[in-house]
């Protein structure tokens, strides 16, 4: 891949002549069809709750929305954008629109990067980019925010290669909404392209990345030094084999995610894995042989593949790096850095189909079906794993109580992820911190199961969770200690599977009760003195980012969809 990208210059053909509006419309329609096919039951009324994908009805703006509560702003600014959109549309429709947009944007943006005048070649690249193991595993893991940035990555590639700051800012908007993980992947590509293009002129792209990261970067600077560095996460989140070709082979095929539960049904079987390997190798050969793509994309793909494999092949190196500086923890879940490789495979697929189209046009058209045929497990919500559900009435009653008499809420059982019966047993990050108003204290120490060994538990990041953890695990009475620490409510959202002994909550009042949630109120609570992030620097950060985005919109948005110049990527 590196050889193929190294021979390029700004004058090298990238994307052929301007993509006709008809081509853009067909690519958008193809992406929409792929999204409908992939999501299936997720488009029914209600919410899809899967691992990190948590949407709630009627979300409201609070301090946690902007990362002001003392926890790392992992969901900034994505939660704020969802909350803003939910003031206009029902929140479940917002979720469905975002998920469908991922497939549409991915197909349109990747198709525009394929250097061919043949519509089938462009669509082939778009289909591969929108429908592959990386997308499937990240979708099942609930990382919609990362996928939003992934979908727009081809736009970022073209903007970075052209060196147009306005185009770069506009192309980074989806990744900026996605937050730190999406921006880290986009930043890898921008840096690789900038270094290969004109290193002295790297300042502007770096400034663009920083400005678009300000909403989450500013609040994280206040908290970062207090977050525990947990090297155990290297083992927990290391890539794993999900094909017969081992961990490295699985990564090459754009899979290898750390969570075995997020592998699409049937993926990794020899009957599909071997043909998919052939497709990937053929695509990479076409990509490298044509010498196409943007300068630095091949480098970014190789670096991303290295980062994806680091936790599996050199865990000691990554543990040592995290020990030196906690910021290196962003490399633990390295599979997310396969995004540039997925783009190289998509462009290479388009090139291969372009050559095929010159020989057998009918076979080139059939090639559009190959990605879906080799990954059928993504269809229909990954076999029903992505199905919409409705929140129980017990939850709405508890929210009404807390809204009428606000106070901090402690959530039990003391685990981050739940498998609710009403969610058909699918695992999901507890939605109560988003569902209930005010400050909700949840044990954010993620526990990861490992084959043949005991489960690994990450260190909690929320300072209040770290402080309350020993008390909750001790089995001692809770009421007095929680009262002294400013906790007004205790919410038990899995009362049947793990109840709380009555003596531990003696003196509390049960103010809402049902089979799906029980809410206790503690009287005479002492106000908490939680350290909070100063608000004014975050307000300035949001203003700067918004102002720069408005400035960038002087570039016609349609150019992202409908233009792909041979001399101006």
Q: According to the model, what pLDDT value does residue 14 have?
A: 39
Q: DSSP for 104-169, please give it.
A: HHHHHHHHHHS--S-HHHHHHHHHHHHSSHHHHHHHHTT-HHHHHHHHTHHHHHHHHHHT-HHHHH
Q: According to the model, what pLDDT value does residue 500 have?
A: 77
Give the pLDDT mean for 143-160: 97
Pairwise CA distance, residues 129 & 208, whole Å: 25
Backbone dihedral angles phi then psi of residue 440, each to the nearest 5 degrees: -115, 125
**Does a cis peptide bond (omega within 30 degrees of 0) precede residue 46?**
no
Q: DSSP for 532-560, please give it.
A: ---HHHHHHHHHHHHHHHHHHTTS-THHH
Give the pLDDT mean for 48-70: 94
Q: 69-87, pLDDT tens digit by residue?
A: 877 888 999 999 999 999 9
Report the share of the chain in percent with pLDDT over 70.
89
* Residues contacting residue 11 through CB under 8 Å, at least 6 positions apart: 567
Q: According to the model, what pLDDT value does residue 564 have?
A: 44
Query: What is the CB-side half-sphere exposure of residue 310 using CA atoms within 13 A?
Result: 27
CB atoms within 10 A of CB 157: 30
Q: 312-364, pLDDT tens digit by residue?
A: 999 999 988 887 877 788 898 999 999 999 999 999 999 999 999 988 888 89
Pairwise CA distance, residues 154 & 163, whole Å: 14
CB 121 within 8 A of CB 357: yes
Tell me, rounded to whole angstroms, the distance of Cα 32 from its chain centroid. 20
Give the pLDDT mean for 40-50: 98
Pairwise CA distance, residues 432 & 445, whole Å: 16
Q: 6-36, pLDDT tens digit by residue?
A: 333 333 333 334 446 888 999 999 999 999 9
Identify the CA nearest to 269 among candidates 255, 287, 285: 255
Q: Which two tokens stand for residue 310?
A: 């680091």
Q: Which two tokens stand for residue 33?
A: 């069809």
List helix spans (H) across 179-254.
180-197, 203-223, 232-236, 246-252
Q: According to the model, what pLDDT value does residue 561 have?
A: 52
Angle between helices 91-113 and 78-85 (to 10 degrees): 120
* Residues contacting residue 108 through CB under 8 Å, at least 6 positions apart: 24, 27, 28, 31, 126, 561
């Amino acid at each position: 891949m590196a050889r193929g990208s190294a021979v390029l210059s700004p004058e090298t053909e990238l994307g052929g002549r301007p993509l006709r509006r008809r081509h853009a419309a067909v690519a958008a329609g193809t992406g929409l069809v792929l999204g409908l096919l992939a999501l299936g039951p997720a488009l029914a009324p209600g919410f899809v709750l899967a691992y990190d994908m948590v949407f709630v009805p009627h979300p409201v703006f609070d301090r946690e929305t902007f990362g002001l509560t003392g926890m790392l702003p992992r969901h900034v600014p994505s939660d704020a954008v969802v909350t803003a959109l939910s003031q206009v549309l029902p929140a479940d429709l917002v979720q469905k629109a975002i998920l469908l947009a991922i497939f549409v944007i991915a197909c349109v943006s990747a198709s525009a990067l394929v250097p061919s005048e043949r519509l089938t070649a462009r669509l082939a690249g778009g289909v591969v980019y929108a429908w592959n193991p990386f997308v499937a595993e990240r979708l099942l893991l609930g990382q919609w925010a990362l996928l939003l940035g992934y979908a727009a990555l081809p736009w970022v590639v073209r903007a970075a290669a052209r060196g147009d700051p306005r185009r770069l800012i506009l192309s980074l908007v989806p990744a900026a909404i996605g937050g730190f993980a999406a921006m880290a992947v986009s930043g890898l590509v921008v840096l690789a392209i900038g270094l290969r293009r004109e290193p002295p002129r790297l300042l502007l792209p770096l400034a663009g990345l920083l400005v678009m990261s300000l909403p989450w970067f500013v609040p994280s600077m206040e908290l970062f030094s207090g977050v525990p560095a947990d090297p155990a996460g290297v083992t927990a989140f290391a890539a794993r084999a999900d094909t017969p070709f081992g961990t490295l082979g699985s990564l090459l095929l754009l899979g290898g995610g750390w969570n075995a539960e997020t592998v699409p049904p049937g993926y990794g079987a020899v009957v599909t894995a071997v043909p998919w390997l052939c497709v990937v190798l053929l695509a990479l050969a076409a990509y490298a042989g044509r010498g196409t793509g943007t300068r630095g994309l091949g480098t970014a793909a190789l670096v991303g593949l290295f980062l994806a494999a680091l936790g599996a092949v050199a865990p000691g190196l990554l543990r040592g790096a995290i020990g030196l500086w906690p910021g290196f923890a962003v490399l633990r879940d390295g599979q997310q850095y396969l995004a540039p490789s997925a783009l190289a495979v998509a462009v290479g697929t388009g090139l291969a189909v372009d050559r095929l189209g010159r020989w057998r046009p009918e076979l080139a058209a059939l090639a559009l079906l190959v990605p879906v045929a080799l990954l059928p497990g993504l269809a229909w919500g990954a076999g029903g794993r992505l199905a919409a559900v409705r929140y129980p009435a017990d939850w709405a009653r508890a929210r009404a109580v807390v809204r009428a008499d606000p106070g901090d809420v402690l959530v039990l059982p003391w685990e981050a992820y739940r498998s609710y019966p009403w969610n058909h047993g699918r695992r999901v990050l507890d939605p109560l911190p988003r569902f209930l108003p005010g400050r909700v204290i949840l044990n954010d120490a993620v526990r990861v199961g490992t084959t043949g060994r005991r489960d690994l538990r990450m260190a909690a990041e929320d300072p209040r969770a770290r402080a309350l953890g020993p008390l909750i695990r001790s089995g001692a009475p809770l009421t007095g200690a929680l009262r002294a620490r400013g906790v007004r409510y205790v919410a038990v959202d899995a009362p049947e599977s793990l109840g709380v002994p009555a003596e531990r909550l003696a003196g509390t009042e049960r103010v809402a009760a049902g089979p799906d949630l029980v809410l206790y109120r503690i009287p005479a609570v002492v106000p908490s003195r939680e350290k909070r992030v100063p608000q004014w620097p975050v307000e300035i950060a949001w203003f700067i980012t918004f102002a720069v985005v408005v400035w960038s919109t002087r570039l016609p948005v349609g150019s992202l969809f409908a233009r792909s110049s041979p001399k101006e990527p």
